[in-house]
Amino acid sequence: MSEAQKDTIYIDIDDEITGIIDKVQTSKHKIVALVLPKRATVLQSIVNMKLLKRSAQKSKKNLVLITSEASLLPLAGAVGVHVAKNLQSKPAIPAGPDMTDIPDSLVNEEEVEGEPEDPEIDNNKSIGELSGEPAAALAAEETINMDDEPEVTKAGKKPKAGKGKKDSKLKVPNFDRFRKWLILGGVAFVILIVGGYFALVKMPKATIVIATDSSEANTSVVFTANTASKTFDEAGKVVPAELASVKKTDTQTAPATGQKNIGTKASGSVTMTAKVCGSFSTPAAVASGTGVSANGLTYVTQKDVTFSPDTISGGCVNFKGNNTPITAQNPGANYNTSSTTFAVAGRSDVTAQGSANDGTDNIVKVVSQADVDAAKAKLPTAANSDAAKAELKANLQKSDLLPIDSSFAVDGPNVTNTPNVGDQADSVKVDSTATYTMLGINQDDLSKVVKKQAESQIDTSKQAVQNDGLDSATFTVQGKDNPQVTVATSVTIGPNLDTNAIKKEIAGKKKGQTKQIIESRPSIKGVTINYSPFWVIKTPGDPNKVTITFEKAKN
């Protein structure tokens, strides 16, 4: 019995085929069970599988592969190697790959002379039974399961692994997942470092309001707002400025309510006569284009009329003129008239007799002046002005300039309508375009001008201008190009405190320490400190991130 016992050999995932062959050849027993790890790539080659098979034949070993890898089964079947799912399963040669479409000349291999035949294996017995081990040993032998879940025994319980046995379900580390988590961890670390830098260094700010025993002083100064220069001239009180502008266009419409007759004009002819008494002089000719009227309607002559004597009666000479065509002044059937008497414009001595025909009506809708006025009335001129002023102020503030409200000006509006009055249309559109302007001043430069003016009124060895009052100042602007601007403000005068020295002394200090340092100076009545963002608990070390303002202490 002992001669038929088996050898169980565990193959590592990185074992080479030569090493596996050596293990098979040096095994002590006839039956050799090779327990393969998952993804055993070394035997996924038909050449390696044949080499293993041939070495087992030469060593007179009964070789059984313990695996459930679907990719290995066809290769084992192709070379005739037995496969079992675990050590308690019955070995069998799996089905080989489908070769029905491959020529026999390519499938049949030549037998190697002297090559030993495969030892026969009884497929009705398990590997343990083939080894000739006692039933008790078979019952106690560990079951090696190649699937993800342990094999369940007939009693419905999972077999326990024997003490000291090698675990065949060795998990291979997922290096892709490890690499992914390593990258994510690195990115998170970088974000943490950058975020911490901004949160602790860049973002912290401090606003400090110092209440002092101060007073107010009114001051006024005239300066030039230079829109062409970027250079501040403190001595000449020339402050760089910018004239911002914005154009606003608004459109409104109104329905057309006018009417117009575009039918044909009536036409006809008249014969003129003239009567001269007490004289034999010939009446002056009536020029072409002269208006003749009847029934309140006017017609226009199309030809000059000259007169010649016709009859004499009662001491008067009657003159007769030549026949002339006439055309109605406007289209319409109301200009059609039968023979009637026409008055000749500007010629009381002349009368005309005639008729006009063929006038027709065609009434269409046209734009009237009332329609244009109705559309203009809907234009939001005041709303546009307010919106333009707000936009100009916002644009100037973005450029770090102080907007001067009193410099706000409007050019326009220029109003046009389409189509023109009298044109045929269903509606009229009115466009209103205006250009709005506002002056912006460099506030830092202006503050220097105001403070210098105020300092001329105080003892600078004991007092200092703590607030220039520009937030509530009034401005008067005169002129358009580089205007003269008068600024009137109420400045705050207090003790002469060096804000730069204060910033350096409180840098990096906690709130309580900062307050104590500032209040230790003379003439200071109170300190209000605000940090931002909310997590900041001490004064930033960068002086540029600390803003100090002064206010008059409340009584």
**Closest to 240 (Cα-Cα) out of 353, 400, 109:** 400
What local confidence, expressed as pLDDT, does residue 110 receive?
42
Contact between 271 and 323 (Cβ < 8 Å): yes
357 contacts 268 by C-beta, under 8 angstroms: yes
Q: Give the pLDDT band of residue 555 (cuts 50, 70, 90).
A: low
What's the gap between Cα 373 and its chain centre? 41
**Listed residue (418, 413, 424) closest to 253, CA to CA:** 418
SS3 call for 26: coil
**Calpha distance 313→5 (Å, rounded):** 169
Q: What is the model's pLDDT at position 394?
A: 93
Least confident of 35-44, 50-59, 404-413, 505-514: 35-44
What ranges do the domains of the chain cover? 2-140, 205-224+446-552, 263-361
pLDDT of residue 367: 93
Q: What is the pLDDT of residue 171?
A: 56
The answer to whether the beta carbons of residues 42 and 16 sit under 8 Å apart is: yes
Residues 118-171: tens digit of each pLDDT: 555 656 666 656 555 555 444 444 444 444 434 444 344 444 444 444 444 455
The answer to whether 321 and 305 are in contact (CB under 8 A) is: yes
| pLDDT per position as a tens digit, 351-375 | 999 999 999 999 999 999 999 999 8
For residue 71 the two structure tokens come to 């990719």
Confidence at residue 19, expressed as pLDDT on a 0 to 100 scale: 84
The beta-carbon contacts of 379-388 under 8 Å, at least 24 apart in sequence, are 379/250, 379/252, 379/413, 379/415, 379/430, 379/432, 380/250, 381/413, 381/432, 381/434, 384/248, 384/250, 384/434, 385/410, 385/434, 385/436, 387/248, 388/246, 388/248, 388/434, 388/436
Q: What is the pLDDT of residue 115?
A: 47
Strand partners, 17: none
101 CA to centre of own chain: 62
Count Cβ atoms below 10 Å from residue 166 Cβ, excluding itself: 12
What pLDDT does residue 368 have? 93
Token match 């291979």: residue? 172
Question: In terms of Cα–Cα distance, which of 218, 208, 256, 491 is closest to 371?
Answer: 256
Q: Is 332 left (phi over 0), alpha (psi -120 to 50) or beta?
A: left
> What was the pLDDT predicted at 126?
64
Predicted TM-score (pTM) of this structure: 0.45
* Average pLDDT score, the chain: 83
Please identify which residue in the block is written with the tokens 């002089």: 281
287 has pLDDT over 90: yes
Q: Which two tokens stand for residue 111?
A: 């037998």
The larger pLDDT score, comparing residue 459 to residue 441, is at 441
**402: closest CA among 442, 430, 367?**
442
Token pair of 376, please? 């203009």
Q: What letter would DSSP give residue 251?
A: E
Q: pLDDT at position 65, please?
A: 87
Report pLDDT for 458.
Answer: 84
Burial of residue 546 (number of CB atoms within 10 Å: 0-12, 13-18, 19+): buried
The whole-number pLDDT of residue 134 equals: 55
Confidence of residue 263 (pLDDT cuts 50, 70, 90): very high
Residue among 141, 139, 149 at smallest CA distance from 169: 149
Q: CA 370, 371, 372 angle in degrees (round to 5)? A: 90
Higher pLDDT, 86 or 546: 546
pLDDT digits (tens, 9 = 90+) for 13-54: 888 888 888 888 888 888 888 888 887 788 888 888 888 888
Contact yes or no for 143/33 (Cβ under 8 A): no
pLDDT at 334: 94
Inter-axis angle of helices 499-506 and 511-519, nearest 10? 150
Specify the pLDDT at position 216.
Answer: 84
The DSSP call for residue 424 is B
Dump pLDDT digits (tens) for 81-114: 888 888 777 888 888 776 555 454 444 444 444 4
Average pLDDT for 218-228: 90
pLDDT of res. 343:
95
pLDDT score for 107: 44
Confidence of residue 529 (pLDDT cuts 50, 70, 90): very high
Of the listed ranges 66-75, 480-489, 543-552, the one predicted with least confidence: 66-75
For position 118, what pLDDT does the model report? 52
Residue-wise pLDDT tens digits, 479-508: 877 899 999 998 888 888 888 889 999 999
For β-strands 363-366 and 258-261, DSSP reports them as antiparallel
Cis ω for the linkage preceding 159 (within 30 of 0) = no
Give me the pLDDT at residue 274, please: 92
- Model confidence at 474, in pLDDT bands (50, 70, 90)? very high
Question: What pLDDT is stored for residue 125 in this prediction?
Answer: 63
Task: Kindly state the tokens that stand for 60.
Answer: 């007179």
In percent, how much of the chain has pLDDT > 70?
85
Report the phi/psi class of residue 20: left, alpha or beta, with left for phi > 0 and alpha for psi in -120 to 50: alpha
Nearest to 368, CA basis, from 252, 510, 256: 256
How confident is the model at residue 26, as a pLDDT? 87
Q: In terms of pLDDT, which residue wins out, 344 or 387?
A: 344
Res 352: pLDDT = 95
DSSP lists the bridge partners of residue 325 as 269
- pLDDT for residue 554: 78
Find all residues with CB under 8 Å of 10, minimum gap 6, and list them.
35, 166, 168
Contact yes or no for 318/275 (Cβ under 8 A): yes
For the chain, percent of residues with pLDDT exceeding 90: 38
Contact yes or no for 338/354 (Cβ under 8 A) = no
Residues 323-343: what's their mean pLDDT?
95
With beta carbons less than 8 A apart as the criterion, state whether 117 and 58 touch.
no
User: How many Cβ atoms are within 10 Å of 269's Cβ, its own excluded?
Assistant: 17
- Residue 17 DSSP SS3: helix
Burial zone of 455 (CB within 10 Å; 0-12 exposed, 13-18 middle, 19+ buried): middle
Is the model more confident about 480 or about 339? 339
What's the CA angle centered on 548, arms 450 and 473, to 5 degrees? 30
Nearest-angstrom CA–CA distance, 358 and 356 = 7
